[in-house]
Chain A
Amino acid sequence: MIEGILIGLTTALTFQNIFMVMIGCFFGTIIGMLPGLGPMTAIALMIPITYGFDPATGLILMAGVYYGAVFGGSTSSILLNAPGVPGTVATSFDGYPMAQQGKAGKALAIAAWSSFAGGTLSAIYLLFMAPSLSKVSLSFRSPDYFALMILGLTAIAAFSSKGQFLKAMMMVVLGLMLASVGQDSLSDITRFTFNNMNLTDGISFVLVVMATFAMSEALTIILKRNDPTSAAKQVSLTELGSIKINKEERSKMYKTIPRSSVIGFLIGVLPGAGATIASFLAYGMERNLVKDEEKEKFGKGSVNGLSAPETANNAACSGSFVPMLTLGIPGSGTTAVMLGALLGFGIQPGPRLYMTNPEIFWSVIMSMYIGMVILLILNLPLIPYIARILAVPKNYLIPLILFFSITGIYVMSFNNFDIYLMIGIAVVATFLRLYDFPMPPLILAFVLGGLMEENLRRSLLLSNGSWEFLWDRTLTVCILVTTILIVLWHIYKTLKKKKS
Chain B
Amino acid sequence: MNINTTKIISLLFFIFSAFYLYTAYQIQVFAFDENAPFNARTFPIYLGYTGLFFSGLKLILPDPETIEVEHKTLEYKKTGILILIAIIYGATILKVGYFLTTSLFLFASYYFLGERRWKLMFLLSFPFVAAFMYLLHGVLDIYLRDPFLKSIGVMG
A interface with B by C-beta (< 8 Å): 48-49, 51-53, 163-164, 166-167, 169-170, 173-174, 176-177, 180, 184, 186-187, 189, 191-192, 219, 222-225, 393-396, 398-400, 402-403, 406-407, 410-411, 414-416, 419-420, 423, 427, 430, 432, 434-437, 452-453, 456-457, 460-461, 463-465, 494, 497-498
Contact = CB atoms under 8 A, between A and B. Distances in A.
Contacts of A180: 43-44, 47
Nearest to A494: B64
A420 B87 contact: yes
B2 interface: no
A51 B142 contact: yes
B58 A166 contact: yes
A170 B69 contact: no
Contacts of A402: 82, 86, 105, 109
Contacts of B13: 170, 174
Contacts, number: 175
A414 B147 CA distance: 12
Q: Is the interface of A mostly helix, strand, loop or mixed?
A: helix
A399 B106 CA distance: 6
A436 B65 CA distance: 10
Given A166-B61, A180-B43, A423-B86, A224 B54 contact: no
Contact of B109 (A48, A399, A460): A399
16 contacts: A166-B54, A166-B61, A177-B44, A187-B30, A191-B41, A192-B20, A223-B75, A224-B74, A225-B73, A225-B74, A395-B115, A398-B82, A399-B109, A411-B144, A436-B67, A498-B64
Contact of A223 (B54, B74, B142, B145): B74
B136 interface: yes
Contacts of A498: 64
Contacts of B106: 399-400, 403
Interface of B: 5-6, 9-10, 13, 17, 20, 23-24, 27-30, 33, 36-44, 47, 50-51, 54-55, 57-58, 61, 64-65, 67, 69, 73-76, 78-79, 82-83, 86-87, 89-91, 93-94, 98, 102, 105-106, 109-110, 113-115, 120, 124, 132, 136, 139-145
B40 A191 contact: yes
B44 to A, nearest CB: 5
A439 to B, nearest CB: 14
Nearest to A405: B86
Q: Name the residue in A49, A419, A437 with the highest tally of chain B Cβ atoms < 10 Å from its Cβ.
A: A419
A464 B35 CA distance: 11
A394 B105 CA distance: 16
Contacts of B42: 456-457, 460
A192 B20 CA distance: 8
A494 B57 CA distance: 15
Contacts of B143: 411
Contacts of B28: 189
Nearest to B6: A435
A305 B50 CA distance: 43
A224 B72 CA distance: 10
Nearest to A176: B47
B51 A170 contact: yes
A52 B79 contact: no
Given A187-B29, A460-B42, A410 B98 contact: yes
A222 B109 CA distance: 12
B67 A166 contact: no
Contacts of B44: 177, 180, 191-192
- Interface secondary structure of B, over-half rule: helix
B47 to A, nearest CB: 5
Contacts of B132: 407
A199 B17 CA distance: 19
B142 to A, nearest CB: 5
Nearest to A414: B145
Given A177-B51, A403-B102, A163 B65 contact: yes
Contacts of B69: 434-435
Nearest to A220: B79
A391 to B, nearest CB: 13
Contact of B38 (A191, A395, A457): A457
A192 B23 contact: yes
A495 to B, nearest CB: 10
B82 A395 contact: no
A222 B79 contact: yes
A398 B38 contact: no
Contacts of A186: 40
A163 B94 CA distance: 44
B148 to A, nearest CB: 14
Contacts of B75: 222-225
A403 B58 contact: no
Given A191-B24, A219-B79, A396-B110, 14 more contacts: A187-B29, A187-B30, A191-B40, A191-B41, A219-B83, A222-B78, A395-B113, A395-B114, A399-B105, A406-B105, A419-B90, A420-B87, A432-B9, A456-B38
A416 B93 contact: yes
A247 to B, nearest CB: 47
Nearest to A421: B90
A423 B29 contact: no
Nearest to A180: B44
Contacts of B140: 49, 52-53
B43 A456 contact: yes
Nearest to B52: A173
A350 B106 CA distance: 41
A23 B47 CA distance: 41
A69 to B, nearest CB: 21
A416 B92 CA distance: 8
Contacts of A48: 136, 142
Contacts of A174: 13, 51
A396 B51 contact: no
A223 B64 contact: no
Contacts of B124: 396, 400
Contacts of B58: 166-167, 170
